[in-house]
A and B are shown apart, each in its own frame.
Chain A
């Protein structure tokens, strides 16, 4: 019941935003928040719930974007046909890479995913006959569906946030089920999870694949919004940005992903001449949050409030 209210509120907010905001810049920022929320949500399923770190998730974001770019431009496919193929491509890569990678744990998993992300980025950069190389890929068509054109910023906003809502519902349902419980069990103790009958390897792989698919969806939306992509966007820094969103919003918190994505999208817009300081700020945020509030901002602040209330 409470969840329905929350969803309705969410839809209302998006509708209001789309209706009343006409400033192109604000609409663009809101759309980016949506795309980043998709990224954070997917990674949070993997990091927050299953407890498996990935430092190369920008690769799936990139695969989604490049797949749709290649199919729509080189092969003149309809974007709506390219979408399932883009997601399937990311899912397939995730499956192939996930089987050996998810056998690793801890630091090795971090290094493995990092190495994977780097390789994919090098492919984007070096395979220039297909990807356009370092200078990028131009001329990706805008989206339209029958009479509805998504080149209008309002419509794109609705499209992106519709996807966000869909993914939130999807993730919520998974979390609140037998599968979600098993995931959290893996997070708390992999050995014990296996000992109660959870196929930890299979489940981790499923979540990895799911989060790759969501990242690819975000990549698709990004590519058709900006109509131009380049390897820079999907580099190591992007992977770190995704991790930062999850960490700030709070691991294992779905609405936290929304918060983390919003903060990290708005922060650069707010801080004037932020770009110079971007890395210093991200680095500090990551360190400070992890040292003092390892459960993330939302959870950490809730904990502090609870503690102070108890001590009263």
Chain B
């Protein structure tokens, strides 16, 4: 399964904000159809790494290759077009829009009706609209919110908002899905449901990079784990090997490295 070429290659990436070295010299690879857990204490640089991969800001040094080509010169929306989707650490739904509309916007990258199309409503536009709505309902069904399609997303319960954001990311038809702490703020039952959903997404062949502080979830569903601490990659391997890794223990328990 992992014998293909890597889908995403992160190569010696560094990023500093003023004096803060948020990432230094981080490298790893993601293989198609796997779930990789990205863990690390607060401020380790996980969200920053997401922002670099999705093109929100450029890396200071290093390169990021997606499907074999560098993404450094691409803008955020171009990368979505290429197949990178994400969710945010703090849920960022379009709150004044309904759940359905949120997912329709999510399909922006794979629909193409522009100003003229919307004004003249050509037949192909109506066709596209109908198909997008159908896909949106399928996705809502997938996360179990079909009955709430017409409710304002801002009015949904927090757990549902997280799910909706996941569905919105899926709506763009991504190859790679970046999830930033999707279980934060969810209760145990919701977290378990989320774990199942993430596995189902993976089984559709979508590669997932998962940032999550809930260790039991991460360890359970990840095929591989990458550990960051203070901007550096300190370990990488299977969930089991990570659980026994000394450097990781030190990073999490805060004991200073003994020499």
Contacts and interface: CB of A to CB of B under 8 A. Distances in A.
Given A173-B118, A177-B117, A195 B54 contact: yes
Contacts of B172: 196-197
Nearest to B153: A188
A181 B119 contact: no
A191, A196, A199 interface centre (most CB from chain B within 10 Å): A196
Contacts of B101: 181, 184
A178 B129 contact: yes
A177 B94 contact: no
B136 to A, nearest CB: 11
Nearest to B103: A196
B149 interface: no
Contacts of B106: 196
Contact of A182 (B86, B108, B129): B108
Interface in B74-107: 75-77, 80-81, 85-86, 88, 92-97, 101, 104-106
A188 B113 CA distance: 21
Contact of A185 (B56, B105, B109, B171): B105
B20 interface: no
A192 B77 contact: no
Contacts of A206: 115
B77 A177 contact: no
A83 B183 CA distance: 57
Contacts of B125: 177
A192 B114 CA distance: 20
A312 interface: no
A199 B77 contact: yes
A42 to B, nearest CB: 14
A185 B111 CA distance: 16
B168 interface: yes
Contacts of B75: 194, 199
Contact of B113 (A177, A191, A197): A177
A290 B121 CA distance: 36
A200 B77 contact: yes
A174 B97 contact: no
A188 B81 CA distance: 21
Given A173-B119, A178-B128, A191-B92, 15 more contacts: A177-B125, A177-B129, A178-B118, A184-B94, A184-B96, A184-B97, A185-B97, A189-B92, A192-B93, A192-B94, A194-B75, A195-B88, A196-B85, A196-B171, A199-B77
Closest 5 CB pairs of A and B: A197-B109, A177-B118, A197-B80, A188-B94, A192-B92
